Amino acid sequence: MDSNNGANGITKDEYDELLRKLKNSETESSKLRRELRTANKNIDIMKLNMESQTVLNELITGERQRQEMYVRLLLESCPDPMFIFDENMKFLLGTKSTTNIIGIDDVSILQGRELNSIVTRYHPPVFTERLTTLITDLISSSGMRGIEKSFEISADNKKFEVNVLPFYKDDGAFAGALILMHDITEIVRTKEIAEQASMAKGEFLSRMSHEMRTPMNAIIGMTNIAKRSDDPEKKEYCLDKIGNASNHLLGVINDILDMSKIEANKFELSFDVFSFERMLINVMNVINFRVEEKQQSLVIDLDDSIPESIVGDEFRLTQVITNLLTNAIKFTPEYGTITLSTKNIPVTDGKPVIQIEVADTGIGISAEQQSRLFVSFEQADGGTARKYGGTGLGLAISKRIVELMGGSIWIESMLGCGSKFIFTIQYEQGEIKQQPRLSINKEDVRVLVVDDSPETREYFADVMKSHDLPCDVAADGFEALAMLGDRNDKSYNIFFIDWQMPNMNGIELTRRIKEIIENNAVIIMISVSEGSEIEKEALQAGVNRFITKPLFPSILIDCINECVEILHNDDGNEQTSDIQVVHDYHGHNIMIAEDIEINREIMAAVLEETGLSIDFAENGQEAVSLYKKQPGRYSLIFMDIQMPEMDGYEATRQIRSLADEYAGTIPIVAMTANVFREDIESCLAAGMNDHLGKPIDMDDLFEKLELYLG
């Protein structure tokens, strides 16, 4: 409050002085009160002594001024609009905040104006038909009608809670209507957001129930079918379905765990050096069977300026790319095309950037649907979940991963016109490794590529040109045979042939080529699968190697190097496919600490043909006891973490603290479902050498065995 003139001309300084005088005249006030109590209640004030009259007048004046000051403070500082109309429906007074909702500079200009005049002149949005009717009814009935304790009105994108109340004079006579308003816009908005979030999570839980029960139904159903069947092929079919359903269920669980980490702000990355091209090859190995199922075309455009080795989180980058490719495959119809493009973007300031784009010829996404794509627990629309499935978490998780890698992710799409998901990541160049290169005399190599895909032919031509290798291409078998007939003087000796081509497939073309060239050629068959379904027939026709799409430069160069060795060894008929790796660890004893019986059975069955001697411990205490009995017996210990009596952390610490020399060096590998970064760090801090996540991936298991026992 300022020190200028206030109500009835009194200033703040004058009011403060008045308070001081009243306090100083406390004795006189007490005396006056005693006189008033003892005098007749109809006493004439003039009969009081002059001193008492003076004190009484000061008290009355001071109290009136104090009340006027409180009213003024209330009207000026109250944040809620509040105004009063008298019994004649004329405006008496209102809070300063009333100006904001009526659209005036000073509330005093409304004094004496009738309600209808204010509504007609200023058209305030808050004076809805309902509100003006209530005020009119209340005043015209002298407070008998129109009373409502509380109701809501909307005006100018705001919401108010409103009370219309009668007020009365001291003698009980009706005096007018009091209108109280409270801005509840933020409360309503917060409530709506909470309700939307609750609805989204409810829909999410419904999807999760479906996403988890569907594979569980497949697992249980196929298990029962396999148990009742004596047909080995049917059992094998059931096991394949069980494996696929289990992997899907594991993916759903991983999405939920990742999202919980993100929401708890505990999602972190783990950076290391890895091969960018090898990472992409691993991704393709995972998703190729999905492409094959829908007979789609998957094209890779790899920028050769991207370093062979970069520093980043290989696992999480793989997760993002796999998620985008899986979505592209899911939402692209049969025979559609999916393209993965990579681009190295040098920067003048800061870390270099890799841009990765996944484009498809699928159903596309509308602008309205795009706004919900990267939101947790949501999908583009409800029909998406019902028709295509999915948790609705993949893109939200991918967005968080990309942001932690210093990049961003976005979409370019139109409904019915396919989609492009594009993201960037920052990286550091890792240790420079030797790029795959030709270790042959280039004059000895004459390559013919036969593929009905123009993109594949162009890709081969570019790769061969970058290595200065002569290469011709043909669009089908007939064109290839014609080209072969034109070069009898110096024929081709390395053929890359697509399996599925119109008119003449790759196997038939191989037979005809072998009839012409006999053994002086190596034929590599290209397919989107690993060749198992056509392997027998292809090998009989004369195929020497199999490679799968999409193609990578390093794979092609390695394949050509191997083919030239075959030619030099005059063994052109050698028929090979994937080599089965044999794991032989005879002479090694290992301990597996695992409290779950089925997990012990699985490990025993998986390692049965490795030659390992295995001792099992059912808890941490038993693991320590087994080690103490024969300290030098074990070459390796697999240690579960969550076990009764003693967990894996404590068991490891006790083994490491033993006096024998080997206790400090024996390899101990955590084998646990706790797979987050802090879990791995806890294992290492307890003294373990490594970590193996559950469910156990067989390749990872044998990789650990080779690392510590090989």
Cβ atoms within 10 Å, residue 666: 20
Task: Please tell me the predicted confidence (pLDDT) of residue 474.
Answer: 92
- Please provide the DSSP assignment of 501-514 as one string: -SSS-HHHHHHHHH
Task: Share the mean pLDDT of the chain.
Answer: 80
Cβ-in-10-Å burial (0-12, 13-18, 19+) of 305 comes to exposed
Domains 442-568 and 589-709 fall in the same CATH topology: yes
* 31 against 273, higher pLDDT: 273
Strands 272-275 and 471-474 turn out to be: unpaired
CA 383 to CA 333: how far, in whole Å?
17
CA 593 to CA 437: how far, in whole Å?
46
User: Could you give the dihedral angle defined by the CA atoms of residues 541, 543, 549 and 550, in that order, rounded to the nearest 10 degrees?
Assistant: -150
Task: Please tell me the predicted confidence (pLDDT) of residue 342.
Answer: 94
Four-residue CA torsion sign, 210, 213, 218, 224? negative
- Please provide the DSSP assignment of 563-622 as one string: HHHHHHTT-TT----PPPPP---TT-EEEEE---HHHHHHHHHHTGGGT-EEEEESSHHH
Question: Is residue 61's pLDDT more than 50?
Answer: yes
* 542 against 392, higher pLDDT: 542
Q: Which two tokens stand for residue 456?
A: 């594949």
Q: What value does the mean pLDDT take over residues 385-405? A: 76
Which neighbouring-strand residues pair with 146?
none
- Kindly give, in sequence order, each residue whose CB lies less than 8 Å from that of residue 320, ignoring residues fewer than 6 positions away: 398, 401, 402, 423
Q: What value does the mean pLDDT take over residues 301-306? A: 86
Edge to edge, what strands does the sheet with 409-413 contain? Answer: 297-301, 337-345, 353-360, 419-426, 409-413
For 594-697, where are the E strands, in sequence order? 613-617, 636-639, 668-672, 690-693
For 114, which DSSP code? B
Domain ranges in the chain are: 7-76, 78-183, 199-263, 272-429, 442-568, 589-709
CATH of 199-263 among 1.10.150.120, 1.10.287.130, 2.70.98.10, 3.30.70.20:
1.10.287.130
Edge to edge, what strands does the sheet with 272-275 contain? Answer: 272-275, 309-312, 428-429
- Kindly give, in sequence order, each residue whose CB lies less than 8 Å from that of residue 492, ignoring residues fewer than 6 positions away: 446, 447, 448, 472, 484, 517, 521
Question: Is residue 501's pLDDT more than 80?
Answer: yes
CA 54 to CA 31: how far, in whole Å?
13
pLDDT digits (tens, 9 = 90+) for 617-649: 999 999 999 999 988 899 999 999 989 889 999
Question: Is residue 357's pLDDT more than 80?
Answer: yes
Question: Is residue 183's pLDDT more than 50?
Answer: yes
Cβ atoms within 10 Å, residue 198: 10
User: Could you give the dihedral angle defined by the CA atoms of residues 253, 265, 639 and 657, in that order, rounded to the nearest 10 degrees?
Assistant: -170
pLDDT class for 324, splitting at 50, 70, 90?
Answer: very high
SS3 content of the chain, % helix, strand, coil (to 5): 50, 20, 35
Which of 302-311, 426-435, 514-523 has maximum average pLDDT? Answer: 302-311
Determine phi and psi for 678, rounding to 5 degrees.
Answer: -65, -30
Q: Are 142 and 87 in contact (CB under 8 A)?
A: yes
- Kindly give, in sequence order, each residue whose CB lies less than 8 Å from that of residue 53, ignoring residues fewer than 6 positions away: 45, 46
SS3 112: coil
Buried b (16+ CB within 10 A) or exposed e, 392-425: bbbbbbbbbbbeebebebeeebeeeebbbbbbbb
Task: Please tell me the predicted confidence (pLDDT) of residue 542.
Answer: 87
Q: What is the percent of the chain where pLDDT is above 70?
A: 80
Rounded to 10°, the helix 50-77/12-24 angle is 140
Q: Which two tokens stand for residue 687?
A: 């003294």
Task: Please tell me the predicted confidence (pLDDT) of residue 258.
Answer: 84
pLDDT digits (tens, 9 = 90+) for 200-231: 677 667 667 767 877 888 888 888 888 888 88
pLDDT digits (tens, 9 = 90+) for 122-154: 888 888 888 888 888 888 888 777 676 678 888
Task: Please tell me the predicted confidence (pLDDT) of residue 437.
Answer: 57
Q: Which two tokens stand for residue 136?
A: 């009119």
pLDDT digits (tens, 9 = 90+) for 671-700: 887 777 778 888 999 999 999 988 888 888
CA 683 to CA 257: how far, in whole Å?
19
User: Could you give the dihedral angle defined by the CA atoms of residues 607, 610, 614 and 620, in that order, rounded to the nearest 10 degrees?
Assistant: -50
SS3 346: coil
Among 511-525, 568-582, 593-607, where is mean pLDDT lowest? 568-582
Question: Is residue 7's pLDDT more than 60?
Answer: no
Residue (of 347, 411, 412) closest to 374 by Cα position: 411
Q: What value does the mean pLDDT take over residues 412-434? A: 85
Q: What value does the mean pLDDT take over residues 611-620? A: 93
* 51 against 241, higher pLDDT: 241
CATH number of 442-568: 3.40.50.2300
Task: Please tell me the predicted confidence (pLDDT) of residue 580.
Answer: 41
pLDDT class for 390, splitting at 50, 70, 90?
Answer: low
Question: Is residue 588's pLDDT more than 50?
Answer: yes
Q: Which two tokens stand for residue 152?
A: 């809501």
CATH of 78-183 among 3.30.450.20, 3.40.50.2300, 3.20.20.70, 2.40.170.20:
3.30.450.20
SS3 233: helix
Fold of 272-429: Heat Shock Protein 90 (3.30.565)
Residue 709 identity: L
Cis bond upstream, residue 695 (ω within 30): yes
Task: Please tell me the predicted confidence (pLDDT) of residue 42.
Answer: 43
Helix (H) or strand (E) holding 477: helix 477-485
CATH class of 589-709: alpha beta
pLDDT digits (tens, 9 = 90+) for 71-128: 666 666 677 888 888 888 898 888 777 777 787 878 777 888 888 888 888 888 888 8
Q: What value does the mean pLDDT take over residues 170-183? A: 85
pTM, whole model, 2 decimals?
Answer: 0.59
Q: Are 527 and 505 in contact (CB under 8 A)?
A: no
Determine phi and psi for 583, rounding to 5 degrees.
Answer: -105, 110
Q: Are 474 and 484 in contact (CB under 8 A)?
A: no
Q: How many CA atoms lie less than 13 Å away from 258 in the CB half-sphere?
A: 24
